[in-house]
Amino acid sequence: MPVIARVHEANARLPLLKWAGALLVVALWAVLPALASRSVTDMLVFTALYSIAGLGVSFLLGQCGIVSLAQSVFYGVGAYSTAYCCVQLGWPSAAGLLVGIGISAVVAVAVGWPILRLSGYFLALATLALAIIGHVLFLEWDWLTGGTLGIGGIPPLSFMDYQLNSPQRFYYLVWPIAAALLWFHANLLRSRNGLAMRAMRDAPAAAAVLGVNIRILKVRMFVLSAVLGSLAGSLFAHYVSFVSVDSFGVDRAINFLLLAVLGGAKTIVGTVLGALFITIVPNALSRFGDIHAVLFAACLIAAVIFLPDGFGGAIARLTARMRAGDSRS
Amino acid sequence: MTGTLILQSALAGITNGFVYALIGLGLAVVFRGTRIINAMQGEFALIGGMVAYVLLNRFGLPLSLAFLCGALAGGALGWLIELTLVRPTRKRGASEEGYLLLTLGIAFAISAGVLYFFGRDARILPGIGGEGSQILFDAAIRTHAIWLIVISGAVMLALRFFYTGTLIGLSMMAASIDEDGAATTGINVPRMRSLTFLLGGSVGGLAGVLVSPLITIQYEMGLLLTLKGFAAAILGGLTNPFGAVIGGLTLGIVESLAVLTVSSGYKDVIAMTILIVIMIVLPDGILGRRLRRGG
Amino acid sequence: MPALLEVRRISRSFRGLQVLRGVSFSVEGGAIVGLIGPNGAGKSTLFNIVSGFLPPDDGDVIYAGADISRRSVPDRSYAGLVRTFQTPQVFRHLSVRENLMAGCYKQTRSGVLANLLGTPGSREESRRMRRSADAACEEFGLTAVRDRLAGELPAGQQRLVELARAAVGEPRLLCLDEPSSGLNTEEVVQLMNALQRLNAQGITILLVSHDMDLVTIAPVIHVLCFGEIIASGPLRAVQSDTRVREAYLGV
């Protein structure tokens, strides 16, 4: 009797522990800018931005089984739309954001409809080809993007004269946005379309037999991913106030993919872990110069070999084992 | 637009086409032997070119020897990668995406490594026959380019013979088509896989040394070459060595002629669009047999 | 009862090999019909055509009075035509309950946006799907493994999951492709009971099988050989048909 009672107690404490843990994390998050240096806060802002863009790549990979290297294109579209609309046209920032999202969605449908019938490595390489096309167009269409010179002077986001022109202020905007988007995705996963996605990944023929229109669902998810990339890009543009073509090339696309693979595409928290990794590690390694790119790639390789489900997956396995261990004792 | 200009472009296209064909050939070799799409094939070319450059400039080796070593370096790299990275991935049961991510990661690592060790500057190698050119109907083609075409053609014929006429070649194909069956007939399947990467790497390295006198070699060239080679390989049907030639030539010529009408900055956009169109419209190549899943 | 499914003069060839030659048969509403034949007879091809995975070269597939020969697989599913596969195609990384919930997909309507926002409508649908899934688990004896990943179950249970998943979507015509392959005798009996129970609920069943025990639940059998129906009728009758004996035994 006493053994069983103790087990029940432990199990009852678990959700309480989870709540306490979550509260602690939120509290830490809230006070961090006050305690940490400007550069650390700046890094965490980028973590949030990359979480948003990376979420797009992550769920395409983890839930739909699609390797997408095209996120850099949508990131760029969002950034340049914001830059062009706000600087060249003088429109308000919301307009730039919406224009970016609109263009990304249209491009995602136009491009996604034909290429999403491909699968496996064909599709992955097609998205890589897209990333290259996007990068070249950003370079060549310098009347729109400023080419290598870029576009500068992008105004910071402001709410009624309160300007978000410092890392600390932007931090308190971008993280709630990221958190909200992550929560939306958790909703999606539990819903009928989320189930349909995962079914489609596991056994597409069986999913079709249950009424799932595979192609349309893939295109919808691709559009969703593009919208996320564009949103992140627009926020990025407002934050750094200067965008140039170097930020939107193939290495950016690979960065986002690394985020998804390393963080663990199957879990939501994995996306944030991946984003943390790709912001903190290059920063820490940049003192070693160009070699950080090699180490980075080494991480992707190691992740594919040893941690195919990424950090998030490893953590999920660990908690599952702990839970099983608890119930056994 | 004069006829000479068109001919000049076509010749350049043919030359490029053979390079793409060689890369595509390497891709086909690796695919044939392991069913893996090797996203780092272009990096073998990069390494081959770089090794040849170093041997030539820092160690003063004669040209042909430097070229040979470059090709072999590609092969050695391929063999090493298979042994140290592909095998453990296989053992842990990787999916198709897994291999793609692996080879992409390796491609990125090699490119970054070259950047680190050699910097961003482009290097150029002297060609066979130096800077000399031959004149063909008023259009000029470098002597080296002619050598490139000849050597590529020879390699393709050799490979075709290798796969159909030699025991090792047949064993390599058998090992990839039916692993267990091949093992029961005494074929050392793991060794065949290593050999496949050795061969694929050498072909890639050869492509690199052959192309390096014509275009400059620098750390970013690998990925684009891989994708163009992939286009060539698909057009040719992914496992047919001759097919890669047809595919490469088609891509090279179309690319060069298209650049006549639009600015040369769009060259890669055109090539990449062609790749996407090929994948959608002709996934089984011009010769059209369904040999792989994924389209 | 009128025919729910009518297959009319279906022909199909692959690279010059004529696999089906003008096959015609019909399935009455509420019936269980079996389709048997030696290997290479064309059963899978016929099945793929009926279920929408292959287009016919010639002929029509009439379902509930409408010509569905060119309709897509999801469309046929919405019309109530559902099939299973020779190797059980469960969603391996989803739990049994989630597999069955996926089966309720076509009975729900909420779009991606509603799902993202977690609207009350979307949540209610998820709850409904869960309830249906749990009820189906009860009916098929899967409650014990409800939370386990479908990919971890033995073949017999995967079969049941696949069947339950097809049934939970309230199909009208259930097409089963070799449903007993990989099952032991006890599991085959379980399967037969499940199928008869579904049929009693009004679901029409078309069954392709090698298993002579399983097809005993079908009062009507069609025998397919070299792309043609060579015999039709009750099992006893077709078993003693000389053409059938020739086809199977080379006698």
Q: How many domains does chain A have?
A: 1
- Asked if the structure places residue B291 within a domain, the reply is no
- Asked if the structure places residue B289 within a domain, the reply is no
Kindly report the pTM of this predicted structure: 0.88
Residue range of the domain that includes A66: 38-317
A209/C91 CB distance under 8 A = no
Span of A298-302, A325-329, B84-88, C233-237 with lowest mean pLDDT: A325-329
Q: What is the CA radius of gyration of chain A?
A: 21
Out of C85, C111, C126, name the one closest to residue A190 (CB).
C126
- Asked if the structure places residue B250 within a domain, the reply is yes
Residue range of the domain that includes B152: 3-281
Q: Please report, to the nearest 10 degrees, the dihedral formed by the alpha carbons of residues C204, C207, C212, C215 taken in order.
A: 0
Q: Check: CB of residue C206 under 8 Å from CB of residue C220.
A: no
Q: Check: CB of residue C99 under 8 Å from CB of residue C45.
A: no
- Asked if the structure places residue A176 within a domain, the reply is yes
What's the CA gap between A45 and B263, in Å, rounded? 39
Residue B293 has pLDDT above 60, yes or no: no
What pLDDT shows up at residue C14?
A: 86
- Asked if the structure places residue A9 within a domain, the reply is no
Asked if B100 has any chain A CB less than 8 Å from its own CB, the reply is yes
DSSP H helices, chain C, are: 43-51, 73-78, 96-103, 112-117, 120-139, 155-168, 185-200, 235-239, 242-249
Residue A259 has pLDDT above 60, yes or no: yes
- Asked if the structure places residue B119 within a domain, the reply is yes
- Asked if the structure places residue A12 within a domain, the reply is no
CA distance A75 to chain B (A): 19
Q: Check: CB of residue A179 under 8 Å from CB of residue A26.
A: no
Question: Which of A63, A140, A304 has the highest number of chain B CBs within 10 A, making it the mutation to test binding with B?
Answer: A304
C89/A206 CB distance under 8 A = yes
A209/C106 CB distance under 8 A = no
- Asked if the structure places residue B93 within a domain, the reply is yes
Give B48-93 pLDDT, tens digit per residue: 999 999 998 888 888 888 899 999 999 999 999 999 998 888 888 7
Mean pLDDT, 10 residues at a time, chain C of 251 residues: 86 88 90 87 88 91 90 92 91 93 91 89 92 92 90 89 92 92 86 91 91 89 88 86 76 47
What's the CA gap between C25 and C6, in Å, rounded? 6
- Asked if the structure places residue B295 within a domain, the reply is no
In this structure, what are the phi and psi dihedrals at residue B158, rounded to the nearest 5 degrees? -60, -40
What's the CA gap between B151 and B143, in Å, rounded? 12
**SS in 3 state form for A10-55?**
HHHHHHHHHHHHHHHHHHHHHHHHHHCCHHHHHHHHHHHHHHHHHH
**Nearby residues of C57 by Cβ (< 8 Å), 6 or more positions away:** C11, C12, C13
**CATH number for the domain harbouring residue A285:** 1.10.3470
Residue A2 has pLDDT above 60, yes or no: no
Max avg pLDDT among A128-132, B101-105, C139-143: A128-132
Query: DSSP letters of B243-286?
Result: HHHHHHHHHHHHHHHHHHHS-GGGHHHHHHHHHHHHHHH-TTTT
Give B10-24 pLDDT, tens digit per residue: 888 898 899 999 999
- Asked if the structure places residue B211 within a domain, the reply is yes
- Asked if the structure places residue A161 within a domain, the reply is yes
The 10 Å Cβ neighbour count of residue C38 is: 16
Residue A184 has pLDDT above 90, yes or no: yes
A92: left (phi over 0), alpha (psi -120 to 50) or beta: beta
User: Residue type for C16, please?
Assistant: G
Asked if B102 has any chain A CB less than 8 Å from its own CB, the reply is yes
Out of A118, A132, A297, name the one closest to residue B105 (CB).
A297
What pLDDT shows up at residue B289?
A: 52
- Asked if the structure places residue A21 within a domain, the reply is no
User: Residue type for C121, please?
Assistant: G
Asked if C46 has any chain A CB less than 8 Å from its own CB, the reply is no
Give the pairing of strands C220-225 and C58-63.
Answer: unpaired
Q: Check: CB of residue A180 under 8 Å from CB of residue C41.
A: no
What pLDDT shows up at residue B294?
A: 40
What pLDDT shows up at residue A22?
A: 84
Give the residues across from A242 on adjacent strands: A152
> Could you give the ipTM of this predicted complex?
0.88
Give A85-103 pLDDT, tens digit per residue: 999 888 888 888 999 999 9
- Asked if the structure places residue B32 within a domain, the reply is yes
DSSP H helices, chain A, are: 2-35, 38-64, 71-83, 93-115, 120-140, 142-145, 167-190, 192-202, 204-209, 214-240, 250-263, 268-285, 291-306, 310-328
Asked if B109 has any chain A CB less than 8 Å from its own CB, the reply is yes
Closest to B208 in 3D by CA, of B53, B14, B37: B53
Give A28-42 pLDDT, tens digit per residue: 888 888 888 888 899
Question: What tokens appear for C91 in the block?
Answer: 């969603």
Question: What is the b/e burial string over B213-231, where b = at least 16 CB atoms within 10 angstroms of the residue's CB?
Answer: bbeebbbbbbbbbbbbbbb
**CATH number for the domain harbouring residue B98:** 1.10.3470
State the average pLDDT over residues B98-123.
Answer: 87
- Asked if the structure places residue A328 within a domain, the reply is no
For CA atoms A201, C122, A110, A52, the dihedral sign is negative
What pLDDT shows up at residue C226?
A: 84
What's the CA gap between A100 and A162, in Å, rounded? 24
What pLDDT shows up at residue B37?
A: 87
Instruction: Pick the more confident residue, A4 or B156.
Output: B156
C-alpha separations of A191 from C99, C123, C127, C136, C201 in Å: 13, 7, 9, 19, 29
Residue bearing tokens 């370079």: A139
Q: By CB neighbour count within 10 A (0-12 exposed, 13-18 middle, 19+ buried), where does C242 fall?
A: exposed
A195/C105 CB distance under 8 A = yes
Closest to A96 in 3D by CA, of A176, A156, A6, A22: A156
Q: How many domains does chain B have?
A: 1
CA distance A193 to chain C (A): 6
Question: What tokens appear for A25 in the block?
Answer: 């994390």
